[in-house]
Amino acid sequence: MTLKIYNTATRRKEDFQPQNPPQVTMYNCGPTVYDYFHVGNARNFVVVDAVRRYLEHSGYTVKFVQNFTDVDDKIIKRANEKNEPWDRLAARFVDAYYEKADALAVRRATIHPKATEHIKEMLDLVVKLVEKGLAYEKNGDVYYRVRAFKGYGELSGKNIDDLLEGARVDVGELKEDPLDFALWKAAKPGEPSWTSPWGEGRPGWHLECSAMSMHHLGETIDIHSGGHDLIFPHHENERAQSCGATEKPFAKYWLHNGFLTINTEKMSKSLGNFFTINEVLDRFQPAAVRFYLLSAHYRHPLDYSDAALEEATNAVGRIREAVVTAEKILGGAVAGTTSDEAVRLEAEFKEAMDDDFNTQRAIGVIFEAVSLLNEKRQAYSRNANGESDKMAADALVGAIRRLLGILGLEDLIFSAGAADADGAFSEGLVDLLIRARKMAKEAKQFQLADYIRDELNSLGVRLQDHPTGTIWLKD
Ligand code: AMP
Ligand code: ZN
């Protein structure tokens, strides 16, 4: 099966055919850096990262751009409230983005352009639109002339006359038509500004993404993504600007993730019903948070609750325990071991992901593999069928790790504590105590052997005796 992607522009699933395979160009609207991002924003970053990883796994070379909106009303307002220079505030939250996105295993984009570093490209685009009669200046502001662009409303499926009802003109705006939107805003006292042909001013948000996308990825990109809330007006306006200027398509596939909700209401800064990623990562493991964000299909709503995060923590724990137990008992898989079952499960995973990145079904396949692994591993522990169970379990361990890797979950699930020097030291101590317990048992000092087991247990280290030896697991 070939990869199918739901395209917001056509409202149906389409075969994925990038313009210049194996290259894929992809742009995701990044954060406005005036605060820590919330779990709703994290859903967008994680989902898009999974899409990118899956494309790469499928053999594509992805050039991925995600911007920072680092000049904006919200940044200026927050900086004034905090009495902090606006650019310092923005730089702080760029760093915070990297820190928390890294923690969630969201890989860094090929390029993370900042709006403030692309003012020239933005001005060039506005000049072009003015020349083409698609934009006009009024009092230092420059507006896009919406009715002059024929395809306006096509992406979001809106009709111009319906839009007119919702459109408004703010005090001081001198638009020709309430539908028109600002490309460039004249400077207000005390606000950051740049020199333009229309005097001092700063760019509008929609303009930023058009200019940065076209500058880094060319006039037509393969995939443009963002949250559902960006379809209108942001992406509709980006499309009008870019197609208006180039007379070429702007994006081949438009991909939009559904909302993370709280009590079925969109999580958002303006409603105040949000949890920052910092709060959530203080309470839950990154593996559980990423797993949770991928547990629903990306286009469906996903409701946030402590219970959902606890469930994800348990699910991740079950995967970790199954794999770690098996690896310890099997004593290191034979490289390249595979089985019909593992091949079937990997094919089912691919089928799920090829169907518009259905991570929900893909995770279901991983759980089927985990159940099978537990069966095979137990059979091997009982020594019922020796080598063939070991081979089957080895193959499943390999498959589970590979599939988790494609979703960006493998390192998060298995790295905890083991990678650092302290972790290696503690592991060495546990192994030492297990050997001491074995010696105590051999010397028939059962009280001492039980004492070692119970004390380790109270430290969260559970020992399991198997015919093949004792292994330990951490809670
Ligand atoms: P912002 O910084 O507000 O522009 O948001 C960054 C990204 O997060 C955008 O792609 C938004 O569409 C997306 N987003 C915002 N709120 C939510 C939410 N509650 N659920 C899913 N995605 C969201
Ligand atoms: Zn954008």
| CATH number for the domain that contains residue 408 | 1.20.120.640
Please report whether residue 308 resides in a domain.
Answer: no
- Residue 423 above 70 pLDDT? no
CA of 374 to the centre of ligand 2 (A): 45
- Bridge partner list, 226: 256
Q: Whose CA is nearest to atom 9 of ligand 1?
A: 227
| C-alpha–C-alpha distance, residues 285 and 306, integer Å | 13
Task: State in Å: Cα 335 to ligand 1 middle.
Answer: 42
Q: In DSSP terms, which residues pair with 265 in a beta bridge? A: 262
Q: pLDDT value at position 174?
A: 87
Q: Which atom of ligand 1 is nearest to the CA of 260?
A: 20
* Residue 423 vs residue 71, higher pLDDT: 71
Residues 201-230, mean pLDDT to the nearest whole number: 98
Q: Is residue 285 part of a domain?
A: no
pLDDT of residue 161: 85
pLDDT confidence bin for 425, thresholds 50/70/90: low
Residue 418 above 80 pLDDT? no
- Give the domain range for residue 459: 423-474
**CB contact set of 320 (below 8 Å; sequence gap of 6+):** 413, 414
Write down the pLDDT at residue 11: 98
Mark whether 359 and 255 lie in a shared domain: no
345 and 221 housed in the same domain: no
Which residue's alpha carbon is at the smallest distance from atom 7 of ligand 1? 41
Q: What does the pLDDT average to over 79-97?
A: 97
State residue 330's pLDDT score.
86
Considering only 52-56, 66-70, 257-261, 416-420, which range has the smallest mean pLDDT?
A: 416-420
Task: Return mean pLDDT, the chain.
Answer: 94
- Residue 300 alpha carbon to ligand 1 centre in Å: 14
One domain for residues 381 and 446: no
Do both 98 and 213 map to the same domain? yes
User: From the alpha carbon of 266, which atom of ligand 1 is closest?
Assistant: 19
Looking at the domain assignment, is residue 297 inside a domain?
no
* Cα-Cα end-to-end distance for the chain: 40
Q: Whose CA is nearest to atom 20 of ligand 1?
A: 259
For residue 363, how far is its CA from the centre of ligand 2 (angstroms)? 30
Q: What is the mean pLDDT of residues 427-448?
A: 90
Say how many Å lie between the CA of residue 116 and the centre of ligand 2. 14
**Which range among 397-401, 411-415, 431-435 shows the weakest confidence by mean pLDDT?**
431-435
Total count of domains within the chain? 3
Mean pLDDT of 71-84: 96
We report the CATH number of the domain holding residue 228 as 3.40.50.620
Mutate to test the pocket of ligand 1, among 229, 265, 268 (most ligand atoms within 8 A of CB): 229
Residue nearest to atom 1 of ligand 1 (CA): 31
pLDDT at position 383 is 73
Query: Rounded to an integer, what distance in angstroms lies between the CA atom of residue 228 and that of residue 6?
Result: 13
Q: Is the pLDDT of residue 249 over 70?
A: yes
* Whether residue 61 sits in one domain with residue 17: yes
Which ligand ends up closest to the CA of 298?
Answer: 1
> Which of 369, 400, 416 marks a domain boundary?
416
Q: Is the pLDDT of residue 378 over 50?
A: yes
Question: Over 50: is that where the pLDDT of 278 sits?
Answer: yes
Same domain, 333 and 271: no
Check whether residue 192 and residue 227 sit in a common domain: yes
Q: What is the pLDDT of residue 420?
A: 45
Ligand 2 centroid to 211 CA: how many Å?
Answer: 10
Among residues 232, 260, 278, the one where a domain terminates is 278
Any idea which ligand is nearest the CA of 67? 2
Does residue 299 form part of some domain? Answer: no
Going by alpha carbons, the residue nearest to atom 17 of ligand 1 is 40
CA 382 / ligand 1 centre spacing (Å): 51
386, pLDDT greater than 90: no
Q: Is 254 helix (H, G, I), strand (E, B) or coil?
A: strand
| Residue in 441, 460, 461 with CA at minimum distance from that of residue 450 | 441
Q: Is residue 292 part of a domain?
A: no
pLDDT digits (tens, 9 = 90+) for 162-206: 888 777 777 777 899 999 999 999 999 989 999 999 999 999 999
Are residues 410 and 470 part of one domain?
A: no
User: Which ligand is closest in space to the CA of residue 268?
Assistant: 1
For residue 66, which ligand has an atom nearest its CA?
A: 2
Backbone angles phi, psi at 339, to 5 degrees: -150, 165
Residue whose CA is at the smallest distance from ligand 1 atom 12: 227
For the segment 145-152, the average pLDDT, to the nearest whole number, is: 96
Comparing 9 with 467, the larger pLDDT belongs to 9
pLDDT-derived band at 9 (thresholds 50, 70, 90) equals very high
Q: Are residues 393 and 453 in the same domain?
A: no
- Is 50 exceeded by the pLDDT of residue 52? yes
- Identify the nearest ligand to the CA of 250 by its number: 2
| CB 310 within 8 Å of CB 291 | no
Tell me, in angstroms, the distance from the centre of ligand 2 to residue 325's CA.
Answer: 45
Q: How many CA atoms lie within 13 A of 205 on its CB side?
A: 18
Q: How confident is the model at residue 405 (pLDDT cuts 50, 70, 90)?
A: very high
- Contact residues of ligand 1, CB 6 A cut-off: 29, 31-32, 40-41, 43-44, 226-227, 229-230, 257, 259-260, 266-268
Cα gap 148→134, rounded to integer Å: 6
Inside any domain, residue 310: no
Rounded to the nearest 5 percent, the helix, strand and coil shares of the chain are 50, 20, 30
Q: Quick one: 261 and 167 in the same domain?
A: yes
- Is residue 293 in some structural domain? no
Q: pLDDT at position 337, please? A: 82
User: Of the residues 383, 416, 449, which one is the last residue of a structural domain?
Assistant: 416
User: Edge-to-edge, what's the strand order for the sheet holding 199-203?
Assistant: 135-138, 141-144, 181-186, 199-203, 194-196
How far apart are the CA of 18 and the centre of ligand 2, in A? Answer: 21
Q: Are residues 412 and 435 in the same domain?
A: no
Q: Which of 44, 232, 276 to mutate to test the pocket of ligand 1 (most atoms within 8 A of CB)?
A: 44
Q: Is the dihedral of CA 98, 99, 100, 104 positive or negative?
A: positive
pLDDT tops 70 at residue 137: yes
Element (H, E) at 289: helix 286-294
Closest C-alpha residue for ligand 1 atom 18:
40
230 in a structural domain: yes
The pLDDT confidence band at residue 412, using thresholds 50, 70 and 90, is very high
The ligand whose atoms approach the alpha carbon of 235 most closely is 2
Structure-block tokens of residue 86: 């606006």
- Is it the case that residue 419 has pLDDT exceeding 50? no
Mean pLDDT of 409-434: 76
Is residue 230 located within the same domain as residue 101?
A: yes
Looking at the CA of residue 229, tell me the nearest atom of ligand 1.
Answer: 12
What is the 218 CA–ligand 2 centroid distance (Å)? Answer: 15
Portion of the chain with pLDDT greater than 70, in percent: 96
